[in-house]
Amino acid sequence: MAALEPVLTAPQSKGHLSVARLSRWWYVACRSKQLGTKPIARTVLGVPMVLFRTSDGRPAALLDRCPHRNVPLSLGRVLGNGRLECPYHGWQFDGTGRCRLVPGLCSEGSGDCDDVPGRRTPAFAVRERDGFVWVYPSADEEPRTEPPPLPHAADAGYTTVVRELEMESTLHAAVENALDVPHTAFLHRGLFRGNGERHEIKVVVRAIPRGVEAEYIGEPRPPGLAGRLLSPSGGIVEHWDRFLLPSIAQVEYKLGTENHLLVTSLCTPVSDFTTHMFAVVSFRLRVPGSFVRPLLTPVAMRILRQDASILRVQASTIRRFGGEQYMSTEIDVLGPHIWRLLKQAEADALPASEETTTLRELRLAV
């Protein structure tokens, strides 16, 4: 393959960090089944939140701090009326953050507590869909969009597995890693690619609505244990990698009309250097899903743990050197585009057009 000219991504100066803070977007806080009768604490973009279910079973999210004496509300309990009770003095809050009762001060239902300045705690918009609870981490604000659907997660004929992992990395690094093809032959050698055999394929990079996509054309079934589980007979696969704002990475493989795999990584930035990943793996294969699932799940988890380990080392090195110094080439297919989209979204400067357009074509050896 011909030598490639360097393609610069983010600024190369010492002290730079690929950190983007997008507060007016949806992120997964937890899985639906994790939010039961007790409140739970979550942090999104550095904001501590308490999540609980109101009397009608709907999820709610408040700032995890009682305005009275600054005790975490997540240490409290949910009452039968669906209110969240502070564990220190028993102040009660509804799903909108209003204080509905101060024991010993005002009687329940009098309305005395509702509009008193300072007694209300900030609330966050919440949506529940496809087995996940999504939060909008801009307090007391009406969302401009809705959370995206998860393709095939509930489709008949598909088997879906969900796993979680915490990454010590920036959101950008976690998403780029999930969509980075070249590292798989080395970090995941034997599990996914890495048998020494290389094939030159065509890659088409496209701008898609609120994201970017790479299509790999003419790619043989990836060698390794994961590839053999998905398609024992081999063949040429259809392969797409996608980034969708603010934090979703999708890897999709098709082989013929029967075999289809979609891995959707829902990445939630806990803080600048901590990202919580919910990996949703949906697949439909010629082999029954009940047979493949117990074999594929440990392989997928081992791959995810390898990724988490290398991202932790990367983050440690960045801290040691006082910042990043990235030098990319053409084969770093999506990383620069992901960074540009994150910074455009952070500045509320995304392009007005949402048409799919081709950005570039290249050849890549995989």
Residue 295 banded pLDDT, cuts 50, 70, 90: confident
> What CATH number did the domain enclosing 125 receive?
2.102.10.10
Q: Which of 136, 170, 190 is the last residue of a domain?
A: 136
On whether both 64 and 104 belong to a single domain, the answer is: yes
Short-list 329, 326, 363, CA closest to 5: 329
* Contact by Cβ (8 Å): 240, 203: no
Report the chain's mean pLDDT, rounded to a whole number: 88
On whether both 210 and 66 belong to a single domain, the answer is: no
Segment 89-114 mean pLDDT: 79
On whether both 306 and 348 belong to a single domain, the answer is: yes
Is the per-residue pLDDT at 92 higher than 50?
yes
Short-list 28, 37, 31, CA closest to 85: 37
Segment 214-241 mean pLDDT: 75
pLDDT > 90 in the chain, percent: 65
Q: Which range in 116-125, 253-262, 270-279 is most confidently predicted, on average pLDDT?
A: 270-279
Domain region containing 253: 159-365
Short-list 196, 221, 236, 203, CA closest to 4: 203
Stronger pLDDT, 55 or 15, i.e. the higher one = 55
* Contact by Cβ (8 Å): 159, 252: no
On whether both 80 and 206 belong to a single domain, the answer is: no
Residue 9 banded pLDDT, cuts 50, 70, 90: very low
Of 3-7, 70-74, 229-233, 318-322, the range with the lowest mean pLDDT is 3-7
Residue 13 banded pLDDT, cuts 50, 70, 90: very low
On whether both 321 and 187 belong to a single domain, the answer is: yes
304-315 pLDDT per residue, tens: 999 999 999 999
Short-list 341, 3, 350, 364, CA closest to 215: 364
Q: Which of 72, 103, 136 is the last residue of a domain?
A: 136
* Residues in Cβ contact with 73 at an 8 Å cutoff, skipping those fewer than 6 apart: 39, 50, 62, 64, 65, 66, 84, 86, 93, 121
On whether both 129 and 31 belong to a single domain, the answer is: yes
111-124 pLDDT per residue, tens: 556 667 789 999 99
- Is residue 150 domain-resident? no
- Is residue 316 domain-resident? yes
Residue 16 banded pLDDT, cuts 50, 70, 90: confident
Segment 72-78 mean pLDDT: 98
Segment 344-358 mean pLDDT: 90
> Which alpha helices (H) appear in 165-276, and where do they start and end?
171-178, 184-187, 225-230
pLDDT > 70 in the chain, percent: 87
- Is residue 173 domain-resident? yes
Angle at 93 between CA 60 and CA 86, to 5 degrees: 105
Say whether pTM exceeds 0.75: yes
- Is residue 206 domain-resident? yes
What pLDDT is attached to residue 123?
A: 98
- Is residue 340 domain-resident? yes
On whether both 54 and 182 belong to a single domain, the answer is: no
On whether both 128 and 182 belong to a single domain, the answer is: no
On whether both 168 and 100 belong to a single domain, the answer is: no
Segment 259-282 mean pLDDT: 95
CA gap 154, 129 in Å, rounded: 11
Is the per-residue pLDDT at 339 higher than 50?
yes
Tally of domains within the chain: 2
- Is residue 8 domain-resident? no
What pLDDT is attached to residue 12?
A: 44
Q: Which of 103, 136, 169 is the last residue of a domain?
A: 136
On whether both 282 and 165 belong to a single domain, the answer is: yes
- Is residue 82 domain-resident? yes
Is the per-residue pLDDT at 193 higher than 70?
no
On whether both 105 and 193 belong to a single domain, the answer is: no
* Contact by Cβ (8 Å): 31, 278: yes
CA 219 to chain centre: 27
> What CATH number did the domain enclosing 167 receive?
3.90.380.10
On whether both 277 and 234 belong to a single domain, the answer is: yes
- Is residue 15 domain-resident? no
